[in-house]
Structure 1
Amino acid sequence: MTALDALKWIKTSVLAGRSRNLLTMLGFAVGVSAVTVLAAMGESVKQFVLAEFTQFGSHIVAVSPGSEQTLGVGGILRTNRGISLDDASSLQFLPGVEGVVPVIAGTGEVRHQGLTRATDVIGVSASAIEAWQLSMAQGGFLPADDMLHPRAYAVIGNKLYLALFGSSPALGSYIHVAGSRFLVVGVLAPKGQFLGMDLDEMVYIPAARAMSLFNRESLMEVDVVYQPHLRSEQMAQRIRSHLIHRHGDEDFTIVTQDQMLATLDAILNVVRLAGIGIGAISLLVGSVGIYSILTITLAQRRNEVGLLRALGITRSSLVRLFLGEAVLLALMGGGVGLMLVVGVQVVVWFALPALPAVFTPASAALGIGVSVLVGLIAGGYPAYRAASMPPVLALRAE
């Protein structure tokens, strides 16, 4: 039997039972559309979250107070010194360090000429503009003062500037942050949001000033920017050794950006695979349909199978015919499913153009690939049974 004859036989077999094949195709259509959409959405969410975490630079090691290790009974007597401004200042002199950003955050009222706005206040250093990839719309960022004794300068976010100053110039004006007066030296360009925080609503002041405002004795975090040619593990080890020498114990936690991104990637991959699994359930339902249809077809067409075997068709060719029928059903169902996804994508583009794409070539290939695999598995046993039938018994079916 030639390949063209085989294709004609498969097409005729599928079309002959189109009424009962329709439900199977619908099951595959739902499954493929679900797998495609969930895989694409999972990948889009993954890329979005990773982009959120990499918008502040890619060569940063974060140091936070408190050890992540579980302590034994002896650990009860240990004290957590926290991370001081002196610690942060000393990190500037480590080999390979390009900048150090002490971080202390809180909320407070910002006032200017009778206008008041409650917002986030974050204490940093001059290195934050390079470390966090900020850009200025007016003026400059905080000057490189002594980290322990900085001047009372402030940089405000774009939205905060519009709320307090409107179209008036802000540079050289004074604002009151939580009751203390600061001179505005710069306005940031729009940055957007990060994990629900509006960065354009913030006011940036020196870390020492923020610690005084919020009555804090230690920093919340220290971000260390290192030279690009260094490995993150190498820089983390230098910081660890330095702080252990100062504290006498590892009462802090160091997280490299590589570790953070690897953890996020693992979590998001689990979410994506879970979504694909949900769609695969629909494909499983469709596979049961294919198995049932091919089993019924085998019972109804035993004489046809016997005639083919009597005419000399080999077992392997007969297996390929039945498997081809199963694959065609899966492909037709998958094609319908992809058309549904394209329709959803068009609606999303018109209604909410900012949302991530729900249809990508990779997700479509995954959906079709899973569909074909399920079709082959579902059609395998009926195909084997058809090829194993003795020709004489098959011809006697009628």
Structure 2
Amino acid sequence: MALFDIFRLAISSLLHQRLRSLLTLLGIGVGITSVVLLTSIGEGVHRFTLAEFTQFGSNLIAINPGKTTTAGVSGALVNTIRPLSFADEQALKRLPGVIDTVSVVQGNAAATYTKRTRRTTVIGSGSSVGEVWQMGVTIGRFLPADDPRTARAFAVLGSKVADELFRDASPLGRFIRIGGERYRVIGVMESKGQMLGFDLDDAVYIPTSRAMAMFNLDGLMEIDILYQEGISSHRLAERVKKVLIERHGSEDFTITTQDEMIKVLGSVLDILTLAVGGLGAISLLVGGVGIMTIMTIAVHERTPEIGLLRAIGAERGQIMLLFLGEAVVLAGIGGLAGLLAGAVIAWLLGAFIPALPTHTPWQYALYAELLAAGIGLLAGILPAAHAARLHPVEALRAE
């Protein structure tokens, strides 16, 4: 019996039992749809989170005071942590490959204009925020490069704060009170939205030294470094470490590179994508059980047909190939239908629910289709092997 004849017999058998074949296709199709849909949501969340996380750029190194360590002596006995200073920032700015730096202090205070008051995040920063953090100003300008010791009382508002305090009026040149102190508004930042739950638009920017005085701080909370493309973040971090140890006498600070954070976050999100895809794969296993059940029933129903085929010369391998072909065809067609349905549903979710990011990873879709075919093959092996072992005479006698 030729391979074409085996394929034709498999298709005709599936068409003869349309309802049973359709239900089997539906089981596999639902499984593939689940895999594609869940991985699309997982991949969409993955890309969205990384995009939000890297909107400040990827060539960044952050230095924070204090070293995360575990020791056998109580930290309350002695405190050798030296706060980060403006002098530290200037020393780091002189390192080869460093484009610019920005000092950061953060707190919370009330911003007041006439009778309107809004409790908001106050960020004390240097004049290089626009370049280092890749943030622009919609109107006006950002904080000038004043001497930290004599920084003028200027403020730049986040877009949400500007809208809440000034409504439709222009805030430029107006005076507001932040934490009880009087500041002149010189600019409004462009809208950036939220990043990992933090509203970047609900903030007010003032000079770092003034924020330190407002929140009674002795040192900087963070120094961010923007470095040139092509420079190894690890090597630059080692240079930063060496400079600060020379200045502080010990490693009483923590250095974090953006590359490290992105790598860790990407690994976590990859596991999340695989996990949700695995949940969909469970439906595929259920569909595989359905194929095995259908094929087992088909072997019992078609025992006389198998006996006739064996009697006219069909070999055991050809009988086995016939039933395996039926199982793989069922799984393959169901898989294709599931791929199409999953991609369409994912696209519709992204179109009608913009807050739910979706992106169909076609490599996972291909793996799902191959998995469906593999499940069909495995599910058909036992029934096909049973059919191939039937004795021709005994099979012909079966009713």
Give ranges in structure 1 of 5+ residues lacking alignment. Answer: none
Q: How big is the shift at 1:270?
A: 1.1
TM normalised by structure 2 equals 0.90
Partner of 2:169: 168
CA distance 1:283–1:89, shift in 2 (3 Å): same
Do the aligned partners of 2:32 and 2:342 also contact (CA within 8 Å) in 1? Answer: no
Partner of 2:34: 34
The correspondence of residues 78-89 of structure 1 with structure 2, limited to 5 A, is: 79-89=80-90
Of 69-78 and 56-65, more deviation after overlay is shown by 69-78
Partner of 1:303: 304
Partner of 2:17: 17
* CA root-mean-square deviation: 2.5
SS in 1 for 2:201: helix
Partner of 1:230: 231
1:156 equivalent to 2:157? Answer yes
Distance (Å, rounded) in 2 between the aligned partners of 1:221 and 1:12: 72
User: What is the identity, as a one-letter code, of the residue corresponding to 2:7?
Assistant: L
Partner of 1:218: 219
TM normalised by structure 1 equals 0.90
Do the aligned partners of 1:341 and 1:358 also contact (CA within 8 Å) in 2? Answer: no
Do the aligned partners of 2:37 and 2:346 also contact (CA within 8 Å) in 1? Answer: no
Partner of 1:382: 383
SS in 1 for 2:107: strand
- Deviations along 1:269-305, one digit per CA (max 9) or x if unpaired, are 1111111111111111111111122222223323333
CA distance 1:167–1:300, shift in 2 (3 Å): closer
The correspondence of residues 71-82 of structure 1 with structure 2, limited to 5 A, is: 71-73=71-73, 77=78, 79-82=80-83
The correspondence of residues 314-329 of structure 1 with structure 2, limited to 5 A, is: 314-329=315-330
Partner of 2:358: 357
Do the aligned partners of 2:43 and 2:358 also contact (CA within 8 Å) in 1? Answer: no
Distance (Å, rounded) in 2 between the aligned partners of 1:262 and 1:350: 29
Partner of 2:268: 267
SS in 1 for 2:37: helix
SS in 2 for 1:105: strand
Distance (Å, rounded) in 1 between the aligned partners of 2:175 and 2:12: 83
User: What is the identity, as a one-letter code, of the residue corresponding to 1:284?
Assistant: L
SS in 1 for 2:369: helix
Distance (Å, rounded) in 1 between the aligned partners of 2:398 and 2:365: 43
CA distance 1:314–1:86, shift in 2 (3 Å): farther
CA distance 1:237–1:312, shift in 2 (3 Å): farther
Of 357-366 and 256-265, more deviation after overlay is shown by 357-366
Of 41-50 and 20-29, more deviation after overlay is shown by 20-29
Distance (Å, rounded) in 2 between the aligned partners of 1:243 and 1:2: 78
Of 222-231 and 376-385, more deviation after overlay is shown by 376-385
Distance (Å, rounded) in 2 between the aligned partners of 1:159 and 1:211: 24
Do the aligned partners of 1:86 and 1:148 also contact (CA within 8 Å) in 2? Answer: no
Q: How big is the shift at 1:346?
A: 6.3
Distance (Å, rounded) in 2 between the aligned partners of 1:65 and 1:316: 72
Do the aligned partners of 1:129 and 1:135 also contact (CA within 8 Å) in 2? Answer: yes
Q: How big is the shift at 1:363?
A: 4.8
Distance (Å, rounded) in 1 between the aligned partners of 2:244 and 2:100: 17
Distance (Å, rounded) in 1 between the aligned partners of 2:336 and 2:209: 62
Identity in percent: 45
SS in 1 for 2:15: helix
Of 320-329 and 296-305, more deviation after overlay is shown by 296-305
Aligned residues: 398
CA distance 1:127–1:312, shift in 2 (3 Å): farther
User: What is the identity, as a one-letter code, of the residue corresponding to 1:89?
Assistant: Q
SS in 2 for 1:95: coil
User: What is the identity, as a one-letter code, of the residue corresponding to 1:374?
Assistant: I
CA distance 1:316–1:222, shift in 2 (3 Å): farther
Distance (Å, rounded) in 2 between the aligned partners of 1:25 and 1:396: 32
Partner of 1:46: 46
CA distance 1:319–1:167, shift in 2 (3 Å): same
Distance (Å, rounded) in 2 between the aligned partners of 1:144 and 1:87: 17
Distance (Å, rounded) in 2 between the aligned partners of 1:245 and 1:149: 28
Partner of 1:144: 145
Of 226-235 and 323-332, more deviation after overlay is shown by 323-332
Distance (Å, rounded) in 1 between the aligned partners of 2:344 and 2:47: 23
1:189 equivalent to 2:190? Answer yes
CA distance 1:393–1:148, shift in 2 (3 Å): farther
Distance (Å, rounded) in 2 between the aligned partners of 1:249 and 1:379: 67
Of 181-190 and 66-75, more deviation after overlay is shown by 66-75
